[in-house]
Amino acid sequence: MWEPGRAGLPRSALPCYLRAPLTTHKTMKIGPYDIRRLTRAQLPRDTVALARFLLGKVVVRARDDGWLAGRIVETEAYIQGDAACHAFNGPTPRNRSLFLRHGHAYVYLAYGTSWMLNVSSEAEGVGSGVLIRALEPMAGMAVMAQHRGTEKPRDLLRGPGRVAQALAINRALDGLDLTRDRRLWLGHEVVNGTSPAKIGVSTRIGLTKDAHRPLRFFLKGSAYLSGPAALNR
DNA sequence: TATGAGATTGGCT
DNA sequence: GCCAATCTCATAG
């Protein structure tokens, strides 16, 4: 089987989407950061646990024009039996990816205008997911700025629709395996001796059904949170 | 078949 | 602060 980097071409000459690792133990240099892919075994198979676990982890998008990456600072859990969860009424063509085993992408269009990235979060057949609401920019800010039409770092990835627009995420990526795919994957930073940030909890943003549940999670003190300041304390 | 609501955003008052 | 843009799907007729 042909493998990138083993065909006489230096890895650095390959486009990002081919340099992206399929295996876990490889460490990628993305911008100034050392990033290693998360395996399915590392991902909690529980929606709330995954929503908390993903804080501080990294979303990596590989494009032929470069790496795009951001640190997850805000998530929301959409659990089975929750009226606000898209899977509440069973599978439809739009929400079927929510029923994939944990670690797959569920990408959908909200309000006909904004794409949203979610991570499926339970066993196959259970419709649940974690919405990625905000990232802190790590790499590829110039390309993100092009996609977003703004240069301001705080406006690149603050809000789920902005995350998808900045990272060029749309229906074409719906259903992919975030632990295996080269184009979009989850990683963690390889570092020594960092202290874990405190996690804040609030109600979810923009809901009318089941709006009272404390299922939004965020890194306290981050400058890249969406939502009103009152919910970020 | 028609209608209204929705896990949002950007522009304008 | 208000509102339009515009896709998906549940519900009603």
Strand B, nucleotides < 7 Å from a protein CB: these are: 5-10
pLDDT in tens, chain A (233 residues): 555 555 666 777 889 999 999 988 899 999 999 999 999 999 999 999 999 999 999 999 999 989 999 999 999 999 999 999 999 999 999 999 999 999 999 999 999 999 999 999 999 999 999 999 999 999 999 999 999 999 999 999 999 999 999 999 999 999 999 999 999 999 999 988 777 789 999 999 999 999 999 999 999 999 999 999 999 99
Work out if A210's Cβ lies within 7 angstroms of strand B. no
Q: How much is the pLDDT for A6?
A: 55
Q: How much is the pLDDT for A8?
A: 66
C-alpha torsion A43→A25→A182→A20, nearest 10: 140
CA A227 to C1' C12, whole Å? 35
Residues in A 100-129 whose C-beta is less than 7 A from nucleic strand B are: 106, 110-114, 116, 118, 129
Between CA A9 and CA A87 the distance in angstroms is: 45
Between CA A58 and CA A163 the distance in angstroms is: 12
Q: How much is the pLDDT for A177?
A: 98
Strand C, nucleotides < 7 Å from a protein CB: these are: 5-11
10 Å Cβ neighbour count for A49? 14
Whether the full predicted model's pTM is greater than 0.85, yes or no, is yes
Q: How much is the pLDDT for A70?
A: 98
Work out if A213's Cβ lies within 7 angstroms of strand B. no
Say which nucleotide is closest to residue A85, CA to C1' distance.
B7
Q: How much is the pLDDT for A193?
A: 74
Q: How much is the pLDDT for A150?
A: 96
β-bridge mates for residue A37, sequence order: A187
Residues in A 180-209 whose C-beta is less than 7 A from nucleic strand B are: 204-209
β-bridge mates for residue A117, sequence order: A107
Say which nucleotide is closest to residue A210, CA to C1' distance.
B7
